[in-house]
Amino acid sequence: MSKIAFVFPGQGSQAVGMGKELAEKHSEVMEYFLKADTKLSTKLSNLIFEGPKEELTLTVNTQPALLTTSIAILDFFRKSGIRADYVAGHSLGEYTALVAAGALSFEEGVYAVRKRGEFMENAVPNGEGSMAAVLGLDRAPLSAITTEVTESGFPVSLANLNCPGQIVISGSRKGVELAGVKAKEAGAKRVLPLEVSGPFHSPLMKPAAEQLREVLDATEMQDAQIPVIANVTAEPISSSSEIKDKLIEQLYSPVLWEDSVQKMITLGVGTFIEIGPGKVLSGLMKKIDKTVKTYSVSDEESALAVVDALKEEKL
């Protein structure tokens, strides 16, 4: 049987009420939400379960909320006995993957991403940075465009290489606008501005990365018990020192998601299970390689369905 990878979503997958039904039915799931409340000295659980959406969507809240929900769902799913050979997460999701791999405790992970969210929101004055999704243009011509625009004095760079034909650019507001115009001239089908609070995964995030380094230096990190595919290299890592370095780089470097998935496939992964709210990564997976099996687990019903499907595969 092919190997299994657990993958964890990043910002954009959050929704008011995520994890609520599972937590109300299973006290051990609720325990994660209560632990997050205690660690952060705030009622994060109320915000996750009841909203308001505008507050949940703030980066400083979204990041710990998604990590908490995804790990709570993972804990429930693991009771089925299904284990991963590799783990990976998209941007913020990489921290969830590290908790899943035993490199970070849940509490340390929740605290780290809360601080990460703060630093990311404050790194660039509001309105000066932006991001946009470019659809239908390959990375080589888009990279050439962002280099040209940056050299003209308006920084912009590739931020998320999500799947063939979907790349997010990030940088100064003017840089993103200019690169978007040039991308359309070069044949891009669409350029969609993203509703984000800053130019994430661009060199403009380097001030936030320095602040994050201080937090991570004070964080107890273990070697990962399951190989983690790093966003910045698309290679498996497990040593605690390398994990810290890659998390800092991740803040101002592109998320190589398509490359990460392809790497796991070359390592023998044939089944990808997205664990957490939404189906964003499952959708990307189908655009990267239609031959792999892709499942998503976001509640009890989907968890049981995935377990049944995997049992049938073994028979």
Active-site hit among 70, 91, 130, 253: 91
3-state secondary structure of 70: helix
Alpha-carbon span 247 to 249, nearest angstrom: 5
**CA neighbor of 5 nearest in space, from 164, 162, 227:** 227
Alpha-carbon span 142 to 119, nearest angstrom: 28
Helices (H), the chain: 20-25, 27-40, 44-50, 53-56, 59-78, 93-100, 106-122, 139-151, 173-185, 206-217, 240-250, 257-266, 280-288, 300-314
Neighbouring CB atoms inside 10 A of 286's CB total: 12
Give, in degrees to the nearest 5, the angle at Cα 230 between 232 and 81.
Answer: 160
Alpha-carbon span 302 to 248, nearest angstrom: 34
* Catalytic residue check, 91: yes
Alpha-carbon span 108 to 114, nearest angstrom: 10
Active-site hit among 45, 90, 197, 201: 201
Q: What residues act catalytically?
A: 91, 201
